[in-house]
Structure 1
Amino acid sequence: MPAPEIPTPRPTPAQPGLSTADAAHRLAAEGPNLLPGSAPKSTLAIVRDVVTEPMFLMLLAAGGIYLALGDRGEALFLLGFVFVVIGITLAQERKTQRALESLRDLSAPRTLVIRDGQEQRIAGRDVVRGDLLVLHEGDRIAADALLIDGQLEVDESLLTGEAVPVAKLPAAQGAAPDTQQTPSPTPGGDGTPSLFASTVVTRGVGVAQVCATAAHTAVGRIGADLAATVEPPSALQQGSRRLVRTLGTAALVLALAQVLLGWWWNGRPLLDSLLSGIALAMAILPEEIPVILTVFLALGAWRIAHQKVLTRRVTAVEALGAITVLAVDKTGTLTLNRMAVAEIATADQRFRPADGASEMPEHFHLLAEFAMLATPGDPFDPMEKAIQHFGHQWLEGTEHVHDGREPEFEYALSGEILAMTRVFASDEPDLHLLATKGAPEAVADLCHLDAARLGAIRRQVEAMAERGLRVLGVARGRWRGPPPAPDQSPPWPQSQHDFDFDFLGLVALADPPRPEVPAALAECRRAGVRVIMMTGDHPATARAIAQQVGLSERPQVLTGPELEALDDAALAERLRHVDLCARLKPQHKLRLVQLLRASGEVVAMTGDGVNDAPALKAADVGIAMGERGTDVAREAAALVLLDDSFARIVAAIRQGRRIDGNVRKAMRFTFAVHVPIIALVLGPTLLKWPTLLMPVHIVLLQLLIDPTCAVVLEAEPEDSNTMERPPRPVSDSPFAMGPLVYSVLQGLGVAALLLGGQSWLAGQGWGSAQSRTVVFGTLVLCVMLLILANRDLSRPALLGITRPNPWLWRIAAAMALLLAAVLGIPGLRALMGLALPGAQGVAVAACLLALCLVWLELVRRAGRSLVRTRLPGPGGR
């Protein structure tokens, strides 16, 4: 006679578990049950990273020389930049680490174990190999283990991507290995005894013996893939370092030439020549570049945090503006990972809540009632939660809701019968009501239906499955048993097959898409970002969800087995025509991301599970879910969505494009403004004129240039068509030749006009102090012109005043106050070698400024193609 399908209410294994001494010995020998993760950076490490940037090293060197020569105030001003940026970077790093620490709720769950024959609850980090875990609904499994007693259903979606829990049955007696070298079967199978760390028990009670902890678990083995995956380098870092090497060499050569020319060619004193050489090196050296890259990206991460997106690696902000492919997981990313009843059906009718009916027809009341009776009143399983929610929603206030009614007995799901039956008492002592649900074929088999009815049910189920629905069959029955002996339960039949059931119908459930996803996907399409689904789920489910959210109109699905059969070239060609990838394993996702990047795409990868972690790290921008995601996924990702909303991804891309555009505006301004400074230092030496700009003038200009870069241009609003144009090409660097030529043309024209003005003033007999005042004052005002000229390349510079920016007028006021202070305070005026300009000087400066404005407008009209992306837009990017 077969064993009865009766679950053990409380497993009581014969083994007493490990002794406390043995557990302590193993913990000391094998280490804590913790996954290896990246430790927070120390303050010294952050400071070291900042000051070892090549541009900062040059800044420190220049400041040191100034300090050695006695210009202490100017030296401190230069060196102060280093400390300001270090402070900003430290603040952002600490903020990021604090936010991450608040997310680490999965790192060490509390776990119930049996030790010394007694149950005790310990920290998950203290679980060791050989421990006996006592598992209940809702428990997160602390280590890889084998079930040795009881029956469970486990949500393994964090490893497999499958939203549907899988059934676990006990291993044969003594089968639990006591070694960490024994490999576990692949996650995701029904009817196996294997349990995996970080998965969640959704139903049942059981005892499992730990066979692997920490890095030896399935989660830990994925960690090895993370360690072997090289993080993508930063394009801006690469470009800035190449530029730094070029500018550093140029600054050294030209500064040396300036010293020799000033001393030998012009006969200046050696110390004055040295100071002039350092001034030229500072003029060539745009120290704003590290300020732009560090401050813009750090403040960009802060702005993105306002969209509830945590930036773990600030360099990822720059890649957001260039994303061309967004690879998304289905479960928990496109969907809510919360099951809901999508449809119920009888033999000839069906009811869909989404159709907008105000009430459910009476015809379906019995089906919904017995689906609820076959489900625990307060379940943990997501499908059972959905059934109870559906029943209360549509049957509330009717006689079909039986809250608080407890069964006399339950037949659990088993490997032989994929259905569960709950037995309830009735008004008659020997009559019992039966409520059954489970796999449709199993429930139909219990009802002993004829072939025609079985075929009809099968066709109904297949049609629902094609729409990505998870289908359950529901039946009811009656059983008359002999009266029980006093104080005893009735002699229940050994198997559910001993009852007679009536098939009531089907309940179809779905993991509904997130409500914000369709609009977010539509915005991605308008922005030229291709979205590809990468999921471990069934192809039919992937196709159905894709159709619901509008991800793709192409029905083709690439599956894991098909992917394995293709070489890289064939897979790349297939991927051009497929937007849905299903039945993927972790290595499949990693290969797809690497292949997309090798094809020239800038890839963002979203995910929440351990299985997503290698691909998250390999992507240009890995985006992990903060609420549901695992620690492993968050460690691998560059961005973390704090509320798991898919719309936050689009908001982050929008902010990334805005930041990218503002970085380019600041770079154009920086290179343009340095050209006339260089010309006004080097030109007089070559032409044997008196010195125009001394080091103090350059430092004073930096008081305007640096805040302009770090504050004004960083605060520029996004362009009106930010999300209406394709992503910028990967090759479209702010350090590319086109933008540099455009900036140099702007600066050369201004430099030529200022040098021409100096020549005309000298020819008119003006003294060096008066002419220097006119040229320097015009140069200061040209800084403002260059700001306006580079804010928006789509319209004349003066019209850019109408674009809102709270800092623009503040910097304009600062320029006016600075000029007024320098010219109005006699001591400052004498220190800087200036004189009062007079009305004639003001008129000359105004003429020079007007000519500069005309030149900048000519360059704008002729040179927009040098800096535009694939499609031009406001700001010219």
Structure 2
Amino acid sequence: MVTTERAQAAVREGLDPAEAARRLAAHGPNLLPGSTPKSFGAIVLGVLSEPMFLMLLCAGGLYLALGDRAEAAFLLSAVFVVIGITLLQERKTQRALESLRELSAPRALVIRGGEELRVAGAEVVPGDLLLLREGDRIAADATLLEGRLEVDESLLTGESVPVAREPGGEAAVHASTVVTRGVGIARVGATGGATAVGRIGEALATTQEAPSGLQRASRRLIRQLAIGGLALAALYALLSWLWDGRGPLESLLGGIALAMAILPEEIPVILTVFLALGAWRISRRKVLTRRVPAVEALGAISVLAVDKTGTLTQNRMQVAELAVDGQRFVDAGATELAETFHRLVEFAMLATPSDPFDPMEKAIQHFGLHWLVHTEHVHADWSAETEYALSPQILAMTRVFPCDTCTRHLLATKGAPEAVIDLCHLAVDRARSILAEVEAMGARGLRVLAVARGHWTGEAWPASQHDFDFEFLGLVGLADPPRPDVPAAIAECRAAGVRILMMTGDHPTTARAIARQVGFGERTEVLTGADLAVLDDATLRERLRHVDLCARLKPEQKLRLVQLLRADGDVVAMTGDGVNDAPALKAADVGIAMGERGTDVAREAAALVLLDDSFASIVAAIRQGRRIYDNIAKATGFVFAVHMPIIALALVPTLLHWPVLLMPVHIVLLELLIDPACSIVFEAEPEAGDVMTRPPRGAGESPFAARALGRAVVQGLGVAAVLLPGFGLMLHYGVDAAQARGVVFASLLSGLFLLILANRHPTRAVLARPARGNRWIVRMAGALALMLAAAFGVPFLRAVMDIALPGPAALGALLAMLVGILAWLEALRWMSRRPPHA
């Protein structure tokens, strides 16, 4: 085992920071070949290849063929406006994703100028000294100078069994491989594309993140609507030509307008922008999103499986009590440590690495150095010959030291009380007495370890710790106080219908005590790892429905619990920090790794990383996830609602032999407002007041389901039912067609704004405090007013759109239609709030 002091003595100072900066400039960042942001040209080509814009170009060409050069110029120039809007949206999304990538980039622990520094993996340079520990992902190709490691190199070799690396033998370690055991110091030899993994190929550069469930569902829906819309547009063109007597080119132009009205091309924009910006917003709550599609699952979480240490507690371990043969020592307020406890503390320190990573082991060393300093019980210069690591079979570790002769060895052991009692082969009465003391300490919220010592004479090490003879020394109780914000966060989860399930390796009594302190609830039954071992899946699934505490769990048992919860229909989030937690983190719907104390392996397996390891941050992420899903649903509803009157106004006049009402130019102007309304206005919408007082949405719930879209379709059809009769009545009473068209267009634009307000808060009055909490509402209203002023005030636009300034009668019709739209939306709101059987 390598200590930091020994490492620094061996490698001196490491690189000077100034020299590291020079090498970084010379060799470039330590980055593997990766994808680059879309270029301007790629974005423009993407825009022009969209069906909506292909139809726009076709419409411009048809206007030229018909001799309407003004209309053609306007439509073709609108392409550039749309490209500009798309560029802004792409830039905003790209900025959010890039900031997330920077946060989630691997980090490395290096020695520079004699100090340990945590730097971004991209800043590692040749010659750097890496400090490597269990769970680290190695940042660059390097040569091991000191220590002994076991490394998972399956990424390079395909071989899943870890390989040993030690100085003097096979000492090469490679970038992107994982340290599964040990501690070591390595000198970097190659970085970036010069590493073994960097030379494998450029496949990583083309790897794209898999689409989320909502994105897949939206693509299916849009594909179906596109096929249906094109068929309907073709039928419309034939009807317009053969039924309404218009020319073929004019009929084709009308068909294009109808196809543009039907295609809801805003949906992909909504999902891309909302999920990317949502992940960025969540990162501001100290929760890093490593996989953006996980954002949509946050709002559906029904079970939150959390570890105790560091999540519910502060992860600031300190030795609080000692117990030896019925005698107790309490650290709080003590002025001296009685001789009775010296040997217990001495062997607890010997059973712990002198420079530990684990918070409990740090606490033991700190406690021992405080109370035993300047005594013969501190052995800072001793070095273990070998050690037996903690394993799922034996929850204890033993370190072996030379003693007297080359064949005589001193043993120091610590671990779970049950395991150490078993290793000491104690009599039943003595074991029962010790376990009673463990229960009492656990009831006080302490995490309890047992300590033993032993001797071994022989040259060959036995295969198992069970082959040694141990003497039981006593118990060490460590306190880790709960985080002060946890009780309120747990109460918020319970109000939101999210069940909290504690999964810990601690003693059941300790788990129960912490649960009581943080307000877990009244259910005190504890399911242990031993219980899991004897229960079949069906019985365990039933037990899980009535249990909130699981203790003495092994990592593979956490995986089994997550799988059973998901099989029972729950959407599961799980926290973890160790290498062995990775399978369960991957299996969960939302794996959440600890950013401060977690291993690189856990972070890479997880979808989210807690930057502050705080339970309250998880709850904040759930709150944000629900807000994001709500806003996606609102934006989707608005899109379908606003497309209904556009479709009706493009289709019905032809069937009734009326003048054309909506042309491609009108639809383009409408899209210039609809796109930002979807991707900006609704994305910025604050959370609903009941976001954390209602149960989670169902796992299969979707904003694209027929039930979810039904209200939106009815909204839009109602708006159409107001506008179409209004247009017909104006024509009937002799209002000029251009005036009537202008009034309907103005009413539709105003109705678009009313639909935004109606879908922001489906249960509130449409005009109730419209801008509250969302500054973009006022800006949207301003954009609407500017568009109306330009459309009616600029002669060129009036001519292109074939509209005229309305007279008194037309203004009266405009006011009547706005009142009708508002009345329809209010009636729908009133009906939706009525009890089902009222």
1:66 and 1:74 in contact (8 A); partners too: no
1-structure distance, mates of 2:260, 2:139: 57
Q: Verify: 1:380 aligned to 2:355, yes or no.
A: yes
Please point out which of 287, 294, 302 is paired with 1:309.
Answer: 287
| 2:752 corresponds to 1:783 | yes
- Give the distance between the partners of 1:545 and 1:637, measured in 2 at CA: 26
Distance between the aligned counterparts of 1:379 and 1:437, measured in 2? 14
Partner Cα distance (2:223, 2:185) in 1:
64
Corresponding residue number in structure 2 for 1:642: 611
Structure 1 residue aligned with 2:241, among 231, 239, 263? 263
Give the Cα–Cα distance (whole angstroms) in 2 for the partners of residues 316 and 450 of structure 1. 52
Partner residue in 2 for 1:528: 497
Q: Please name the residue that 1:93 is paired with.
A: 97
Q: 2:593 aligned with 1:624, yes or no?
A: yes
- Confirm whether residue 825 of structure 1 aligns to residue 833 of structure 2: no
Contact 2:279 2:289 in 1 (8 A): yes
Q: Which residue of 2 aligns with 1:855?
A: 824
The 1-side partners of 2:299 and 2:505 are apart by 29
TM-superposed CA distance for 1:100, in Å, is 1.8
Per-residue CA shift, 1:165-207, capped at 9, x if unaligned? Answer: xxxxxxxxxxxxxx9989689xxxxxxxxxx9635769xx999
With over 3 angstroms needed to count, the CA separation of the structure-2 counterparts of 1:864 and 1:245, relative to structure 1, is: farther
Q: Deviations over 1:515-536 (max 9, x none)?
A: 4333322221111111223345
Q: Which residue of 2 aligns with 1:579?
A: 548
Structure 2 CA distance for aligned equivalents of residues 411 and 287 of structure 1: 68
Change (3 A) 1:295 1:269: same
Query: 2:728, 2:35 → 1: CA distance?
Result: 55
Paired with 1:206 and 1:95, the residues of 2 have a C-alpha distance of 31
RMSD of aligned Cα (Å): 4.9
TM-score by length of 1: 0.69
- Quote the offset at 1:283 in angstroms: 0.8
| 2-structure distance, mates of 1:715, 1:602 | 26
AA of the residue aligned to 1:627 = E
Tell whether the 8 Å contact from 2:162 to 2:180 is kept in structure 1 after alignment.
no
Residue pairs, 1:229-248, within 5 angstroms: 234-248=212-226
What is the rounded CA distance, in whole Å, between the counterparts of 1:421 and 1:675 in structure 2? 80
- Larger deviation: 368-377 or 282-291? 368-377
Letter in 2 for 1:631: D
Cα distance change on mapping 1:46 and 1:465 into 2, 3 Å: farther
Contact 1:407 1:422 in 2 (8 A): no
The equivalences for 1:403-802 within 5 A come to 459-461=436-438, 463-464=440-441, 469-471=447-449, 507-551=476-520, 553-560=522-529, 562-801=531-770
- Could you tell me how far 1:583 is from its partner in structure 2? 4.6
1:366-404 deviation digits (Å, cap 9, x = unpaired):
6788877775999523445425655899x8xxxx97599
Report the Cα offset of residue 302 of structure 1. Answer: 1.4
| SS, match of residue 691 in structure 1 | coil
Tell me the CA shift for residue 643 of structure 1. Answer: 2.2
Q: 1:804 is matched with which residue?
A: 773
User: Is the 8 Å Cα contact of residues 474 and 503 (structure 1) preserved in structure 2?
Assistant: yes
Q: What is the match of residue 151 of structure 2?
A: 143
Q: For the residues of structure 2 that align with 1:805 and 1:144, how far apart are their CA atoms?
A: 50
State the partner residue of 1:198.
179
Q: Tell me, what secondary structure is at the counterpart of 2:768?
A: helix
Once the two structures are superposed, what CA deviation does each residue of 1:556-585 show, in whole Å capped at 9, x if it has no partner?
Answer: 444445445444433322322233334545
Quote how far apart the aligned CAs of 1:343 are: 2.5
2:275 aligned to which of 273, 297, 308? 297
Would the aligned equivalents of 2:131 and 2:185 in 1 still touch at CA under 8 Å?
no
Q: Matched residues in 2 for 1:181 and 1:336: separation?
A: 38
Q: Does 1:73 align with 2:73?
A: no
Instruction: Give the counterpart letter for 2:151 in structure 1.
Output: A
Aligned to 2:804: 835
CA distance in 1, matches of 2:379, 2:679: 69
Q: Does the 8 Å contact 2:53/2:79 carry over to 1?
A: no
Structure 1 residue matching 2:767: 3-state secondary structure = helix
Which stretch shifts more, 821-830 or 550-559?
550-559
Partner of 2:319: 341
Identity of aligned residues (%): 53
The residue number in structure 2 matching 1:171 is none
Distance 1:710 1:458, change over 3 A: closer
Aligned equivalent of 1:814, options 783, 795, 804: 783
**Structure 2: gaps (5+ residues):** 8-30, 63-71, 110-117, 133-137, 164-176, 187-208, 389-396, 404-411, 454-470
Contact persistence 2:502–2:549 (CA under 8 A): yes
SS at structure 2 position matched to 1:798: coil
Partner Cα separation in structure 2 for residue 836 and residue 97 of structure 1: 53
The SS at the match of 1:688 is coil
CA displacement 1:342-379 (0-9 Å, x = unmatched): 324576775656xxx7x3377x6667888777759995
* Structure 2 SS opposite 1:660: helix
The Cα of 1:755 is off from its aligned counterpart by 0.8
**2:296 corresponds to which residue?**
318
Q: Confirm or deny that 1:58 pairs with 2:72.
A: no
Question: Take 2:378 and 2:579, find their aligned partners in 1: how far apart are those partners?
Answer: 38
Are positions 1:253 and 2:231 aligned together? Answer: yes
Shift in CA distance, 581/457, structure 1 to aligned 2, threshold 3 Å: closer
Q: 1: distance between equivalents of 2:832 and 2:647?
A: 22
Quick check: 2:301–2:570 contact (8 Å CA) kept in 1? yes
Counterpart CA distance in 1 for 2:557 and 2:45 is 40
The 1:663–1:690 alpha-carbon spacing in structure 2 relative to 1, beyond 3 Å, is same
For residues 742-769 of structure 1, give each alpha carbon's deviation from its aligned partner in whole angstroms, at most 9, with x where no partner exists: 1111111111111111111111101111
Cα pair distance change 1:342/1:516, threshold 3 Å: farther
CA change 1:784–1:755 in 2 (3 A) is same
> Between Structure 1 and Structure 2, how many residues are aligned?
705
Quick one: which amino acid aligns to residue 694 of structure 2? R
Please report how far the alpha carbon of residue 252 of structure 1 lies from its aligned counterpart in structure 2 after TM superposition.
0.9
1:608 is displaced (CA, Å) by 1.9
Deviations 1:28-66 (A, max 9, x none): xxxxxxxxx99744446999999999x984335434534
For residues 582-610 of structure 1, the C-alpha deviation after alignment (integer angstroms, 9 at most, x for no partner) is 45454443333333223221122222222
* Closer, same or farther: CA 41–550 of 1 in aligned 2, 3 Å: farther
Q: How big is each residue's C-alpha offset from its partner over 1:716-752, in whole Å with a ceiling of 9 and x where there is no partner? A: 1111221111111223321122232211111111111
Q: Would you say the 8 A contact 1:410–1:420 is kept in 2? A: no
Matched residue type, 2:355: F
Contact 1:232 1:620 in 2 (8 A): no
Residues 465, 471 of structure 1: 8 Å contact kept = no
Give 1:443 deviation, angstroms. 12
Bigger mean CA offset, 643-652 vs 590-599 = 590-599
The structure with the larger Rg is 1
8 A Cα contact 2:254 2:663, kept in partner: yes
Distance 1:508 1:560, change over 3 A: closer
Deviations, residues 849-868 of structure 1 (Å, cap 9, x unaligned): 111111111111113589x9
| Contact 2:108–2:130, Cα closer than 8 Å, also in 1 | no
Distance 1:617 1:456, change over 3 A: closer
TM-score by length of 2: 0.72
